[in-house]
């Protein structure tokens, strides 16, 4: 019975088991990957003559996106790319990861009842449907009656119409708020995997919380930090939710690449150019995914050894 390659399923049964998933993934994941590349070399539109008979236009769509004359103009590709980069840096790397780390660390010491309440609030922001969250924030930020301005006025601070005045910072804070739960839970489980005796020994030696964090906690969860940074970067880079809050406006000031792509393809009906944007998004995703997978492999190897 202990043959090395004994397997429970024959090749044929295995293939049959794989078939439905392979078909679905093939048509709706693999095919779009190649199709979007093909479309990006055409002038395909949603309506009109080129909807049915698109022409091959070579790299024209890409030249248009990277046209130096308009690259940095608001509402153009370059502007959106830079905006998205800032958005990812601030809301994923700084906001979600740091806040998640802080929360996870606090959770280690605070009383269980308080821990449960705080966790509930943080996780609620993460699990509720995006349109509900979008509307909650719309109400929260309302100039006349919104909760935020009510509090600001109550504290004697100037109220503001933040969706108009500081739309970019609104979506940065919004996304931090929305996604911090993931980082918090990841780091929570990371801290939980550290043997408690390490911390007890540090307590006996009289270490402060910050010292314990810096010298024991952080070094031991380094792997999780990298995982968290890459995953939250990828998700934030592809997120469409701010559209629900701001529609990409006012005047393109919150038009992330995902929203830009939507506008070009489905509002301006320029599928060729939209596809080119999609290709660039996928290339950036690919870089992150390769980093993540190579990192995972290294870790797997280290475990085997």
Site for another protein in 39-68 (CB under 8 A): 39, 44
The one among 1, 52, 155, 205 contacting another protein by CB under 8 A: 1
Which CB, 63 or 210, lies closer to another protein? 210
The one among 56, 214, 266, 298 contacting another protein by CB under 8 A: 266
The nearest distance, CB 69 to another protein, in angstroms, is 25
Query: Phi then psi for 42, rounded to 5 degrees?
Result: -125, 170
Comparing C-alpha atoms, which of 117, 91, 89 is closest to residue 103?
A: 117
| Element of type H or E holding 55 | none
Q: What contacts 116, CB < 8 A, 6 or more positions away?
A: none
Asked if 216 is part of the footprint of another protein (rule: CB under 8 A), the reply reads: no
- Using CA atoms, how far apart are residues 66 and 148, in angstroms rounded to an integer? 40
The nearest distance, CB 227 to another protein, in angstroms, is 6
Torsion sign (Cα): 189, 195, 198, 200: positive
Which CB, 69 or 116, lies closer to another protein? 116
Asked if 293 is part of the footprint of another protein (rule: CB under 8 A), the reply reads: yes
Which CB, 68 or 132, lies closer to another protein? 132
Asked if 95 is part of the footprint of another protein (rule: CB under 8 A), the reply reads: no
Asked if 112 is part of the footprint of another protein (rule: CB under 8 A), the reply reads: no
The one among 57, 83, 163, 257 contacting another protein by CB under 8 A: 257
Asked if 247 is part of the footprint of another protein (rule: CB under 8 A), the reply reads: no
Comparing C-alpha atoms, which of 283, 284, 266 is closest to residue 274?
A: 266
Judge contact between 260 and 277, C-beta under 8 A: yes
The one among 186, 199, 252, 254 contacting another protein by CB under 8 A: 186
Judge contact between 191 and 217, C-beta under 8 A: yes
The one among 236, 246, 254, 261 contacting another protein by CB under 8 A: 261
- Using CA atoms, how far apart are residues 175 and 172, in angstroms rounded to an integer? 5
Residue with tokens 């998004």: 281
Asked if 9 is part of the footprint of another protein (rule: CB under 8 A), the reply reads: yes
């Amino acid at each position: 019975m202990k043959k090395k390659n004994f397997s429970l399923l024959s090749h044929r049964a295995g293939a049959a088991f794989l078939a439905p998933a392979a078909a679905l993934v093939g048509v709706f994941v693999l095919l779009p990957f190649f199709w979007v590349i093909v479309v990006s070399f055409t002038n395909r539109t949603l309506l009109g003559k080129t909807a049915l008979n698109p022409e091959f236009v070579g790299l024209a769509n890409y030249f248009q996106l990277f046209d130096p004359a308009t690259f940095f103009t608001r509402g153009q590709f370059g502007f959106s790319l830079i905006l998205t980069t800032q958005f990812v840096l601030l809301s994923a790397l700084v906001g979600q990861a740091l806040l998640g780390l802080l929360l996870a660390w606090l959770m280690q010491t605070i009383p269980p009842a308080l821990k449960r309440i705080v966790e509930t609030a943080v996780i609620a922001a993460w699990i509720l449907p995006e349109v509900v969250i979008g509307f909650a924030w719309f109400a929260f930020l309302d100039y006349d009656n919104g909760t935020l301005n009510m509090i600001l006025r109550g504290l004697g601070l100037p109220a503001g119409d933040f969706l108009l005045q500081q739309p970019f910072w609104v979506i940065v804070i919004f996304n931090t708020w929305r996604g911090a739960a993931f980082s918090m839970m990841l780091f929570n489980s990371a801290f939980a995997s550290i043997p408690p005796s390490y911390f007890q020994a540090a307590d006996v030696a009289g270490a402060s919380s910050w010292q314990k964090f810096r010298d024991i906690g952080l070094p031991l969860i380094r792997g999780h930090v990298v995982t968290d940074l890459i995953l939250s970067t990828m998700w934030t880079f592809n997120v469409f939710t701010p559209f629900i809050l701001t529609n990409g406006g006012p005047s393109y000031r919150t038009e992330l690449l995902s929203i830009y792509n939507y506008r070009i393809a489905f509002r301006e009906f320029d599928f060729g150019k939209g596809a080119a944007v999609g290709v660039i998004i996928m290339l950036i995703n690919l870089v992150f995914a390769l980093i993540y997978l190579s990192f995972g492999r290294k870790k797997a190897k280290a475990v085997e050894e």
